[in-house]
């Protein structure tokens, strides 16, 4: 095992020492996720409002009650938290209440309410709903003050208003979205979908382009010298496979951790997300073994890796969500490991799935990894006797 780990560690170090990988492995993926999330990310049609201020004040209670009655999801938090959620696209509208505003409302004076909409287009419609709710609270407050001004006590005024509200049947409108795609994406954060897609895209790309280091190791006789040492052939081949896995894992863990810290991406259960990533990394590493053993030119291997990686990523839903695919393309996408990993992440991330729920996807990915690993090991053994 020590020999396996040593060979794998050398392969990962060689990959990271390539300066061209600094941009494409560590910078470009996060920039792309930021761009896609900023341009196309949304809150999946779910109207959410964040309220900052004293949640125990009469103004805050009245607003929360009215907003919820109007069908909006309301969460109270500190001002910094609400503004952070606005910037990340996790809420549509932020409402900020000062103590002076709450005092003015309680005293029957006009109160100033600051409402800020998020950048996504859907937030403007939610802002209009918030304005309607605020207007309803203002109207009820004025009615109460008029009754109290006429000599009616506060408790009796509340009872009169409640009785009047119950006696008048307000018109209601219920919007039912029957679009399955919209329902599938409901509740996703602004960057959540793009993060999954780019994770699968770059993990596979980095692995396939990393096959060039395997070709260099064959050309320079590194593997031959390793096998000349007191190291079994299976250890040398296994170390190369483990090295490819390490390259994929470095890319994957970096993207998952970076997006969670910088963009607040919710990956669901971290253990299950890690299991999905590990199995997908195994598929990617095995595919890199095959390319690195079949081709003898490292430049050609990089080109084939990029081309094959982009094609498989496109078919597997890493560029356009597979929910938008036609029926025939849906079936074709099931031939790619990206699609199975995408479905597994969707189950964990969107639906809170358990290990049992993603066992079919994990089983298919494990079978792909095993088949490619056997093929790659066989081809690598044959390539060692071939002149480069």
| Tens digit of each residue's pLDDT (9 = 90 or more) over 211-225 | 777 777 777 776 666
In sequence order, which residues have a C-beta less than 8 Å from that of residue 270 and are 6 or more positions away? none
* CA pair distance 195, 54, nearest whole angstrom: 35
Mean pLDDT of 76-91: 86
Tokens of 292: 């690195």
Question: Contact at 8 Å (CB) between 72 and 31?
Answer: no
pLDDT at 160 (0 to 100): 55
Tokens of 378: 């066989």
pLDDT at 286 over 80: yes
Which of the given ranges, 70-74, 115-119, 341-345, has the highest pLDDT on average?
A: 341-345
Q: 371 or 23: whose pLDDT is higher? A: 371
pLDDT at 313 (0 to 100): 94
Question: Contact at 8 Å (CB) between 376 and 286?
Answer: yes
Model pTM score: 0.68
pLDDT band at 365 (very low <50, low <70, confident <90, very high): very high
Mean pLDDT of 342-366: 95
pLDDT at 175 over 50: no
Q: 218 or 148: whose pLDDT is higher? A: 218
Dihedral Cα 219, 222, 227, 228, nearest 10 deg: 100
Cβ neighbour number for residue 287 with a 10 Å cutoff? 27
Tokens of 361: 């996807």
* CA pair distance 74, 275, nearest whole angstrom: 34
80, exposed or middle or buried, with CB in 10 Å at 0-12, 13-18, 19+? exposed
Cβ neighbour number for residue 365 with a 10 Å cutoff? 22
In sequence order, which residues have a C-beta less than 8 Å from that of residue 121 and are 6 or more positions away? 42
Domain ranges (residues) in the chain: 2-41+191-383, 48-183
Does 48-183 carry CATH code 1.10.287?
no
Least confident piece of the model among 31-35, 71-75, 165-169, 204-208: 165-169
* CA pair distance 308, 127, nearest whole angstrom: 45
- DSSP secondary structure string, 34-64? HHHHHHH---TT--EEEEES-TTSHHHHHHH
* CA pair distance 376, 372, nearest whole angstrom: 6
pLDDT band at 358 (very low <50, low <70, confident <90, very high): very high
pLDDT at 62 over 60: yes
pLDDT at 44 (0 to 100): 46
């Amino acid at each position: 095992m020590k020999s396996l780990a040593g060979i794998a560690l050398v392969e990962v170090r060689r990959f990271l020492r390539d300066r061209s990988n600094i941009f494409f492995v560590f910078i470009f993926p996060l920039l792309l996720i930021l761009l896609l999330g900023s341009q196309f990310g949304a809150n999946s049609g779910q109207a959410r409002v964040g309220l900052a201020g004293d949640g125990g004040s009469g103004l805050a209670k009245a607003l929360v009650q009215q907003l919820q009655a109007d069908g909006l999801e309301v969460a109270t938090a500190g001002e910094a938290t609400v503004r952070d959620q606005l910037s990340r696209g996790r809420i549509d509208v932020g409402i900020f209440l000062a103590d002076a505003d709450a005092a003015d409302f309680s005293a029957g004076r006009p109160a100033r309410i600051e409402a800020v909409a998020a950048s996504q287009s859907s937030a403007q419609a939610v802002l209009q709903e918030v304005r309607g709710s605020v207007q309803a609270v203002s109207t009820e407050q004025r009615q109460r003050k008029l009754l109290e001004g006429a000599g009616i006590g506060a408790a009796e005024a509340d009872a009169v208003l409640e009785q009047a509200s119950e006696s008048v049947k307000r018109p209601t409108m219920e919007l039912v979205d029957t679009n399955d795609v919209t329902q599938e994406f409901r509740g996703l954060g602004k960057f959540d979908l793009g993060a999954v897609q780019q994770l699968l895209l770059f993990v596979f790309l980095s692995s396939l382009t990393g096959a060039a280091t395997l070709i260099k190791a064959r050309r320079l006789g590194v593997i031959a010298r390793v096998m000349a040492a007191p190291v079994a052939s299976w250890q040398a081949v296994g170390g190369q496979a483990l090295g490819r896995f390490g390259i994929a894992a470095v890319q994957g863990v970096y993207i998952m951790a970076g997006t969670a810290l910088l963009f607040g991406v919710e990956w669901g259960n971290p253990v299950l997300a890690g299991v999905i990533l590990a199995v997908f990394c195994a598929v990617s590493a095995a595919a890199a073994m095959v390319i690195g053993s079949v081709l003898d030119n490292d430049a050609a291997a990089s080109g084939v890796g990029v081309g094959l990686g982009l094609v498989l990523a496109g078919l597997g839903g890493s560029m356009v969500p597979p929910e938008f695919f036609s029926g025939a393309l849906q079936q074709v996408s099931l031939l790619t490991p990206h699609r199975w990993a995408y479905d597994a992440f969707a189950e964990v991330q969107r639906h809170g799935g358990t290990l049992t729920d993603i066992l079919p996807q994990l089983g298919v990915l494990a079978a792909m990894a095993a088949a490619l690993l056997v093929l790659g090991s066989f081809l690598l053994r044959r390539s060692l006797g071939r002149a480069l």
